Amino acid sequence: MKEFEINESVKKVVIARIEAGMPQHIKISIGGKDTLSKEEMIEHVKKGDEQGKQIIKMHLNFIKAVTSGELLREINKA
């Protein structure tokens, strides 16, 4: 994915996806770093630090795959 501008609108969309889709008890690891809780992920996105950028890229790649039909094509291959 080419470089993109991380503005407040993008951060709000990603934060909304995290809040709506991630259970409270789940923790994830991004880039081999420490595990992050839902709240920690949101904080990194708000700060726009390196982990926040990785989280944003991950969510934007998923949204792109859904809207382009790529995700559905891959699911149908299975």
pLDDT tens, position by position, 53-66: 999 999 999 999 99
pTM tops 0.85, yes or no: no
Query: Does pLDDT of 44 surpass 50?
Result: yes
Query: Does pLDDT of 22 surpass 70?
Result: yes
Residue-wise DSSP of the chain? -------HHHHHHHHHHHHHHS-TT--EESTTS-EE-HHHHHHHHHHT-HHHHHHHHHHHHHHHHHHHTHHHHHHHH-
Contact indicator for 18, 41 with CB cutoff of 8 Å: yes
Is 60 inside a domain boundary? yes
Is 25 inside a domain boundary? yes
Is 3 inside a domain boundary? no
**Percent of the chain having pLDDT more than 70?**
95
Residue whose C-alpha is closest to residue 41's, from 61, 62, 19: 19
**Tally of domains within the chain:** 1
Is 63 inside a domain boundary? yes
Q: What pLDDT does residue 1 have?
A: 46
Mean pLDDT, the chain, integer? 89
* Residue 52: domain span: 8-77
